[in-house]
Structures are given as structure tokens and as C-alpha cells.
């Protein structure tokens, strides 16, 4: 829930010598020790750093366990609704202990690209799509800021799409 393209990489100290940066810039040298060898120098994006800090503060305030519980409940609601639709092939394991907050599914009778486009155009559902291969399908990724009503509306949009 932080800013786009910002994150934290944690590497155990004993594993740092085995990791090499994908990008190096001015000031980088092979003899840099510890995590310094993974830093990229240049113009720092201070607003993104501040936003990342705010996202961590928010998670600490709400509580990671509370976030996990909420995300799992939202995903369970989505999975339960989608499993009631005969033309949906649920790719995510329905058992909560064997899945997280991501709900992946494929529509048996509607091409994936068309389903993706229709769900956006008619319902403004911002979801992810894998257009082909073994992982083909659509993905709901509910988070703590979503409501159960939004989950039900998303499942309803899929039901409507199936006819």
C-alpha cells in the first residue's frame, strides 16, 4: 500500500556477498561492503521515501495481523461468490490456509481479454489479467481499504458478464 515502485529489500547479512546490484551508478565500486553495494546513487525521490514511511506507519497503526485477517476475509468472500458461478474456474485454492489475499480465476465461456475490458468499461473494476498460458485468467487483489459490498459488486459484475 505504499508508493508505486518503492519498497524495502531485506537481505540477511551473511547473504549480502552473494547478491549483486542490477544497476550501478556514479560512486559505486566493487569494494563497497555490506548493503552499500546495493545502493543506487543519483537524484533521490524524497516524496516517495516519505510516502513509504507513511505506509509503514499506517500498517503499524492498523496492525499487520488485522490487515491479514481483513484481506483473507475479503478474499474468502470473493472466492465463495465466484465458486457459485458454474462458468468460473477458480485457480486460487479455496482453503484460506492454502491461499492469501489474491483471487485468480478464469471464465470458461468468455475470452479473458474481453472479460477484462468489459469489467473495466462497464464496472470500473481495476483488476489484473494474465492473457494466456497456464496462468491465464483474471485476478482480484482486495485489500484492507475494500468493503464486503465492493467484493459482492465485483462478483456481481462477473455474474452479469457471464449472462
Predicted confidence (pLDDT) per residue in 94-107, tens digit: 998 888 899 999 99
Q: Give yes or no for residue 1 having a pLDDT over 90.
A: no
Question: What pLDDT does residue 30 have?
Answer: 82
Q: What one-character-per-residue DSSP string does 94-116 give?
A: SSGGG--S-EEEEESSS-HHHHH
Instruction: Determine the angle formed by the axes of helices 148-162 and 112-123, rounding to 10 degrees.
Output: 130
**Cα 149 to Cα 134: distance, rounded to the nearest angstrom:** 31
Question: What pLDDT does residue 76 have?
Answer: 96
The three-state secondary structure class of 106 is strand
Q: What is the mean pLDDT of residues 24-46?
A: 80
Q: What is the mean pLDDT of residues 18-31?
A: 83
Residue 88 and residue 108 in contact, taking contact as beta carbons nearer than 8 Å: yes
**Cα 38 to Cα 9: distance, rounded to the nearest angstrom:** 10
Split at pLDDT 50, 70, 90, the class of 121 is: very high
For 45-84, what is each residue's pLDDT tens digit? 889 889 999 999 999 999 999 999 999 999 999 999 999 9
DSSP run (H or E) holding 107: strand 103-107
Backbone angles phi, psi at 67, to 5 degrees: -65, -45
Please determine, looking at this structure, whether the domain spanning 64-162 carries the CATH number 3.40.50.150: no
Question: What pLDDT does residue 3 have?
Answer: 86
Q: Where are the domains of the chain?
A: 15-62, 64-162
Q: Which cell numbers hold the place of 49? A: 521515501
Question: What pLDDT does residue 31 have?
Answer: 85
Question: What pLDDT does residue 62 have?
Answer: 95
Amino acid at each position: 500500500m505504499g508508493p508505486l515502485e518503492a519498497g524495502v529489500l531485506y537481505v540477511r547479512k551473511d547473504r549480502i556477498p552473494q547478491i549483486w546490484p542490477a544497476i550501478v551508478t556514479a560512486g559505486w565500486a566493487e569494494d563497497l561492503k555490506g548493503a552499500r553495494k546495493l545502493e543506487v546513487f543519483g537524484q533521490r525521490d524524497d516524496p516517495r521515501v516519505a510516502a513509504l514511511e507513511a505506509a509503514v506507519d499506517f500498517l503499524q497503526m492498523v496492525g499487520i495481523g488485522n490487515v491479514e485477517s481483513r484481506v483473507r476475509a475479503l478474499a474468502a468472500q470473493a472466492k465463495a461468490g465466484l465458486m457459485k458461478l458454474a462458468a468460473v474456474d477458480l485457480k486460487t485454492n479455496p482453503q484460506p490456509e492454502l491461499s492469501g489475499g489474491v483471487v485468480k480465476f478464469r471464465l470458461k465461456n468468455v475470452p479473458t481479454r474481453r472479460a477484462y475490458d468489459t469489467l473495466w468499461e462497464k464496472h470500473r473494476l481495476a483488476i489484473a489479467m494474465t492473457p494466456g498460458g497456464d496462468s491465464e485468467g483474471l485476478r482480484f487483489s482486495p485489500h484492507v481499504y475494500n468493503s464486503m459490498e465492493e467484493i459482492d459488486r465485483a462478483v456481481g459484475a462477473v455474474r452479469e458478464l457471464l449472462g
